[in-house]
């Protein structure tokens, strides 16, 4: 029966695929109809259900990653073949030399036997060399580079049990230990591009750093204590792994940003910003995805991950235009990109989008102190720099500036972030200045042919080249009469491109400020600014002030503007209205009014004036 | 191929449009994946395969673009984790590159060959992995209609869980036949089973899936 049902079902599925109605199938097999209908309904549901698809991001990046990975493999294979051939050739050369020595120093009778033995040995050794020679690996592939970002860092080399002070850019091998002192920060950069940043009082061991077959990598670290921030480059090759062991867990990743904290009780907290981290303890595994964290106590299995509490404070730096940006924090850690396309992320909890188009660098829980934003220009054009501070979900400050930039130029913007009661309070942004070769980032440049990048975006053109720019722009402050400009003064001044210049106008006595002529920010304010992104000219205009005294005679009052002394700008037209008391009537105005015999009239102020309203008693 | 009905509108278990018109759809009219898949003939695939076998990476990249969605889908329903599915999909295609020189065009169709590599790779993955993955909530939905997208995701989740819970052979049949639309003969080649065995397993798979879906619907309500 079941066999028959399976055959009937199969037949009906074929008929439905050809466009037949299911009712026809059910009609043909009434005895099987109830069960058949359920099965056909299920088949239809599955076939018609919305399909799972890969994300567009994965679709785009993955193909580029695959192609880049395959190209790298092809190059490596060709290199390997070349090196094997040359190794074989060198061996044969040495074998030949040995044979010649035999010929020159021995009895001729013995030579044929000796020659045969030597060649046989040479042959077998050559075969052994071909079969067993390892795939070519550079010396870099088992090492990593330590960069000192700030403070003191100590290392213990693999073959020693003594702690020594580490120098910047020292190369370490598997088996080495690294520890940062109080208020000290360090960065380990691995041969394939991944990096781990060590916060103060952190102690780690480099257990394994090596290439694996197929172009992958194996990096295993042990974190005994402290906080680290890992940026793991995603590799195409299966078998690549980046693993951190702690006293309580194993964290395994392939392509991600995450933080690992081991406290003094050996409890481990993993927080993932990008990608997924597999966390294992006591043979139980959980996956900590982006935006999640997990805390594992020693000797316990990992609990389910929970969402990371959003940072209380956040800095958002947005750069638009033909520039590639990076930001360096007060501790010397940096996040961003280089024009070569190389990405780096050393600031815990930070993220940077690709610099193609506009670039957004987000720093969670920023530090108090001086930050440095570096803008490296890849074309002529206008660059916009936006800075925003957010605290408890509210924008605390924003800053916007715009610069005209030239291809291959590099710029530095320093800004100081201030806090009050642990909340972002404000920022002071300095003037843009040429970088002049003073790159603040500590980056270890990895050989690009060994690094198929995760984003695989078209690398930004132009190579990093320090440029010292000597260009200046002229500000001419001219033609001030009846007043002066006290800042920066009257005359011609030179400023660096992008400088924001303060302007202050001061009128002479009896005059007041009228307006600025020129591209200032607020032309009606005597105190304003102008940005020097080209040569500029400004003029301060002043206007005379005049006194108007308004008086009334006996028998009435001046209602408008009232009796008294007033100061007006020359040229102002003032309305006048006089009102007689009971038993009196308005007679005339004395003074330079428009209509002296109308109780309502006007006066144009060109000089200081006195006007009087006169009244007469009614008969 | 017949009118494909929007079963998800009426809900699982209800009669659609008041009549028994069920059609097994090979291509869902509003299926976004189908819209993305290039319509490509066998001759084109053969040409790409031959060039890729000769070391042409760009041609292999074209094949990757053509078959990515199907392989990803096949993997996803078995591991139920987006990140893992992405990783495994890439690894599968790398293995395909390594073996493409040995692919004989007279043998199984290229897609069936790919599926076989995928299946073996997933078997290896589960052998070395400690446990099966938790359900991943990050299902893709790029509909412009948020309500429909939410409905699609709910249906996808329900179906994912139900398929994930099936026994291995039944799951393979559901994925290859009703998700990816392969014929029995192709499935038989991939799974190295007879077509008779495929028919029997197909029936059992639909029956088990029906019960699991009923349970999912019961849990949702």
Angle between helices A111-132 and A56-105 (to 10 degrees): 170
Query: At A341, is the pLDDT very low, low, confident or very high (cuts 50, 70, 90)?
Result: confident
Longest dimension (CA), chain A: 166
Inter-chain touch B22–A280, beta carbons under 8 Å: no
Q: Residue A121's pLDDT is what?
A: 33
For the residues A270-295, what does the mean pLDDT come to?
86
> Percent of chain A having pLDDT more than 90?
26
Q: Residue B129's pLDDT is what?
A: 66
Q: Which pLDDT tens digit goes with each residue over A531-557?
A: 888 888 999 998 888 888 898 888 999
For the residues A140-166, what does the mean pLDDT come to?
86
Give the mean pLDDT of chain A.
Answer: 80
Inter-chain touch A9–B24, beta carbons under 8 Å: no
Best residue in A16, A26, A34, A53 for a mutation probing chain B (most B CBs within 10 Å): A53
Distances (CA, A) of A277 to A121, A280, A319, B92: 52, 10, 31, 21
Q: How many CB atoms are located within 10 Å of the residue B100 CB?
A: 23
Alpha-carbon gap, residue A249 to A243, rounded angstroms: 10
Distance in Å, alpha carbon of A310 to nearest chain B alpha carbon: 20
Inter-chain touch B199–A42, beta carbons under 8 Å: no
Q: Residue B21's pLDDT is what?
A: 32
Alpha-carbon gap, residue A196 to A200, rounded angstroms: 13
ipTM > 0.95, yes or no: no
Inter-chain touch B155–A49, beta carbons under 8 Å: yes
- Which residues of chain B lie closer than 8 angstroms to A249, CB-CB? none
Distance in Å, alpha carbon of B189 to nearest chain A alpha carbon: 17
Inter-chain touch B179–A41, beta carbons under 8 Å: no
Residue A141 in this model has a pLDDT that exceeds 70: no
Residue A191 in this model has a pLDDT that exceeds 70: yes
Query: In this predicted model, which residue has the larger pLDDT, A162 or B13?
Result: A162
Distance in Å, alpha carbon of A353 to nearest chain B alpha carbon: 20
- Which residues of chain A lie closer than 8 angstroms to B93, CB-CB? 66
Inter-chain touch B69–A54, beta carbons under 8 Å: yes
Q: Which pLDDT tens digit goes with each residue over A102-134?
A: 444 433 333 332 322 233 333 333 333 333 333
Best residue in B11, B22, B95, B197 for a mutation probing chain A (most A CBs within 10 Å): B22
Q: Residue A607's pLDDT is what?
A: 85
For the residues A251-272, what does the mean pLDDT come to?
84
Closest residue to A54, CB basis, from B19, B91, B140: B140
Residue A9 in this model has a pLDDT that exceeds 60: yes
Burial of B83 (0-12, 13-18, 19+ CB in 10 A): buried
Beta strands A410-420 and A250-253, pairing class: unpaired
Q: Which residue of B has its CA nearest to A68?
A: B57
Which DSSP category does B105 fall into?
T
Q: Which residue of A has its CA nearest to B65?
A: A63
Alpha-carbon gap, residue B206 to B167, rounded angstroms: 12
Residue A98 in this model has a pLDDT that exceeds 70: no
Closest residue to B209, CB basis, from A7, A18, A46: A46
Q: Residue B150's pLDDT is what?
A: 64
Q: Which pLDDT tens digit goes with each residue over B86-136?
A: 989 999 999 899 888 877 766 567 888 898 899 888 888 887 765 454 444
Inter-chain touch B199–A41, beta carbons under 8 Å: no
User: CA angle A410-A415-A421, nearest 5°?
Assistant: 160
| CATH of segment(s) A139-307 | 2.60.120.1440
> CB of A383 within 8 A of CB of A359?
no
Alpha-carbon gap, residue A243 to B121, rounded angstroms: 22
For the residues A285-292, what does the mean pLDDT come to?
85
Closest residue to A43, CB basis, from B97, B131, B178: B178
Query: At A235, is the pLDDT very low, low, confident or very high (cuts 50, 70, 90)?
Result: low
Alpha-carbon gap, residue B9 to A473, rounded angstroms: 67
Q: Which of left, alpha, beta for A375 (phi over 0: left; psi -120 to 50: alpha)?
A: beta
Closest residue to A6, CB basis, from B5, B86, B200: B200
> CB of A187 within 8 A of CB of A151?
no
Alpha-carbon gap, residue B74 to B67, rounded angstroms: 11
Q: Which of A176-190, A492-506, A571-585 has the lowest mean pLDDT?
A: A492-506
Distance in Å, alpha carbon of B170 to nearest chain A alpha carbon: 13
Inter-chain touch B12–A65, beta carbons under 8 Å: no
> CB of A350 within 8 A of CB of A460?
no
Q: Residue A17's pLDDT is what?
A: 83
> CB of A562 within 8 A of CB of A551?
no
Distance in Å, alpha carbon of A334 to nearest chain B alpha carbon: 27
> CB of A13 within 8 A of CB of B24?
yes
Q: Which residue of A has its CA nearest to B184?
A: A10
Best residue in B86, B87, B100, B129 for a mutation probing chain A (most A CBs within 10 Å): B86
Which DSSP category does A191 fall into?
T
Listed as ranges, residues in chain B with pLDDT below 70 are 1-43, 105-108, 129-151, 219-221
Query: At A335, is the pLDDT very low, low, confident or very high (cuts 50, 70, 90)?
Result: very high
Give the mean pLDDT of chain B.
Answer: 73
Q: Which pLDDT tens digit goes with each residue over A11-42?
A: 999 888 888 888 888 888 888 888 889 899 99
Show Cβ contacts of residue B127 under 8 Å, excluding neighbours closer than 6 positions. Answer: none
Best residue in B124, B183, B206, B209 for a mutation probing chain A (most A CBs within 10 Å): B206
> CB of B11 within 8 A of CB of A3?
no
Q: How many CB atoms are located within 10 Å of the residue A419 CB?
A: 16
Q: Residue B47's pLDDT is what?
A: 87
For the whole model, what pTM was predicted? 0.45
Alpha-carbon gap, residue A235 to A215, rounded angstroms: 9
Alpha-carbon gap, residue B24 to A291, rounded angstroms: 40
Cα-Cα-Cα-Cα dihedral of A339, A340, A346, A350, to 10°? 50
Closest CA to A221 of A289, A164, A162, A268: A268
């Amino acid at each position: 029966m079941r066999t028959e049902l399976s055959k009937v079902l199969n037949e009906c599925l074929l008929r439905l695929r050809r466009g037949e109605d299911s009712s026809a199938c059910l009609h043909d097999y009434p005895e099987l109809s109830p069960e058949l209908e359920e099965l056909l309904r299920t088949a239809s549901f599955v076939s018609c259900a919305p399909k799972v698809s890969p994300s567009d991001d994965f679709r785009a990046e993955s193909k580029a990653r695959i192609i880049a990975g395959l190209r790298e493999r092809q190059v490596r294979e060709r290199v390997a073949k070349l090196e094997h051939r040359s190794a074989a050739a060198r061996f044969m050369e040495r074998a030949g030399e040995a044979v010649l020595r035999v010929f020159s120093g021995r009895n001729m009778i013995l030579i044929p036997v000796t020659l045969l033995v030597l060649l046989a040995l040479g042959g077998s050794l050559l075969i052994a060399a071909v079969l067993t020679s390892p795939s070519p690996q550079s010396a870099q592939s088992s090492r990593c580079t330590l960069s000192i970002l700030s403070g003191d860092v100590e290392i213990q080399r693999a073959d020693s049990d003594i702690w020594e002070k580490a120098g910047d850019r020292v190369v370490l091998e598997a088996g080495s230990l690294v520890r940062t002192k109080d208020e000290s920060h360090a960065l380990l950069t691995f041969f394939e591009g991944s990096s781990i940043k060590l916060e103060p009082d952190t102690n780690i061991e480099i257990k394994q750093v090596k290439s694996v077959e197929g172009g992958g990598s194996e990096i295993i670290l042990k974190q005994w204590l402290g906080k680290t921030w890992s940026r793991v480059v995603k590799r195409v090759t299966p078998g690549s792994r980046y693993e951190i062991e702690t006293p309580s867990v194993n964290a395994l990743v392939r392509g991600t940003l995450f933080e690992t904290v081991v406290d003094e009780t050996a409890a481990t907290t993993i927080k993932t910003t990008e990608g997924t981290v597999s966390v294992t303890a006591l043979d139980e595994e959980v996956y900590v995805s982006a935006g999640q964290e997990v805390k594992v106590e020693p000797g316990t299995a990992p609990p389910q991950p929970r969402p990371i509490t959003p940072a209380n404070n956040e800095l958002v730096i947005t750069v638009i235009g033909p520039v590639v940006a990076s930001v360096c924090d007060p501790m010397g850690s940096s996040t961003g990109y280089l024009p070569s396309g190389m990405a780096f992320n050393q600031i815990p909890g930070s993220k940077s989008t690709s610099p193609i188009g506009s670039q957004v660098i987000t720093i969670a829980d920023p530090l108090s102190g001086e930050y440095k934003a570096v803008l490296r220009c890849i074309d002529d054009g206008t660059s916009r720099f936006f800075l925003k501070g957010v605290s408890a979900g509210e924008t605390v400050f924003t800053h916007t500036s715009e610069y005209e930039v030239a291809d291959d130029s590099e710029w530095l913007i320093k800004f100081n972030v201030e806090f009050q009661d642990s909340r972002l309070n404000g920022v002071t942004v300095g003037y843009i200045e040429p970088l002049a070769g003073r790159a603040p980032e500590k980056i270890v440049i990895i050989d690009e042919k060994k690094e198929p990048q995760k984003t695989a975006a078209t690398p930004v053109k132009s190579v990093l080249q320090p440029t010292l720019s000597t260009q200046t722009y002229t500000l001419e402050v001219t033609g001030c009469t009846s007043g002066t400009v006290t800042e920066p003064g009257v005359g011609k001044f030179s400023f660096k491109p992008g400088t924001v210049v303060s302007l202050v106008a001061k009128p002479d006595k009896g005059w007041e400020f009228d307006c600025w002529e020129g591209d200032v920010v607020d032309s009606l304010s005597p105190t304003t600014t102008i940005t020097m992104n080209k040569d500029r000219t400004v003029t301060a205009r002043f206007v005379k002030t005049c006194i108007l005294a308004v008086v009334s005679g006996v028998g009435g009052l001046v209602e408008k503007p009232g009796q008294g002394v007033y100061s007006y700008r020359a040229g102002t037209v003032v309305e006048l209205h006089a009102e007689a008391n009971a038993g009196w009537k308005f007679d005339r105005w004395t003074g330079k009014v428009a209509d002296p015999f109308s109780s309502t009239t006007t006066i144009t102020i060109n000089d200081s004036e006195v006007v009087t309203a006169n009244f007469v008693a009614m008969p | 191929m017949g009118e494909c009905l929007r079963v998800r509108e009426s809900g699982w278990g209800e009669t659609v449009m008041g009549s028994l018109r069920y059609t097994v759809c090979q291509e869902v009219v509003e299926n976004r994946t189908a819209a993305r898949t290039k319509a490509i003939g066998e001759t084109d695939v053969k040409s790409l395969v031959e060039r890729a076998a000769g070391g042409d990476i760009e041609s292999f990249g074209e094949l990757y673009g053509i078959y990515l969605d199907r392989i990803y889908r096949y993997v996803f329903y078995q591991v139920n984790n987006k990140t893992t599915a992405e990783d495994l999909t890439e690894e599968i295609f790398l293995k395909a590159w390594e073996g493409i020189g040995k692919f004989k065009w007279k043998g199984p169709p290229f897609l069936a060959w790919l599926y076989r590599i995928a299946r073996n790779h997933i078997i290896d993955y589960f052998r070395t992995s400690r446990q099966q993955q938790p359900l991943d909530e990050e299902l893709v939905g790029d509909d412009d209609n948020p309500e429909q997208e939410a409905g699609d995701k709910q249906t996808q989740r329900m179906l994912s869980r139900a398929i994930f819970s099936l026994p291995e052979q039944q799951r393979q049949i559901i994925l290859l036949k009703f998700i990816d639309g392969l014929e029995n003969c192709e499935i038989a080649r991939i799974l190295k089973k007879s077509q008779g065995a495929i028919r029997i397993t197909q029936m059992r798979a639909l029956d088990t899936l029906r019960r699991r879906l009923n349970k999912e619907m019961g849990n949702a309500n």
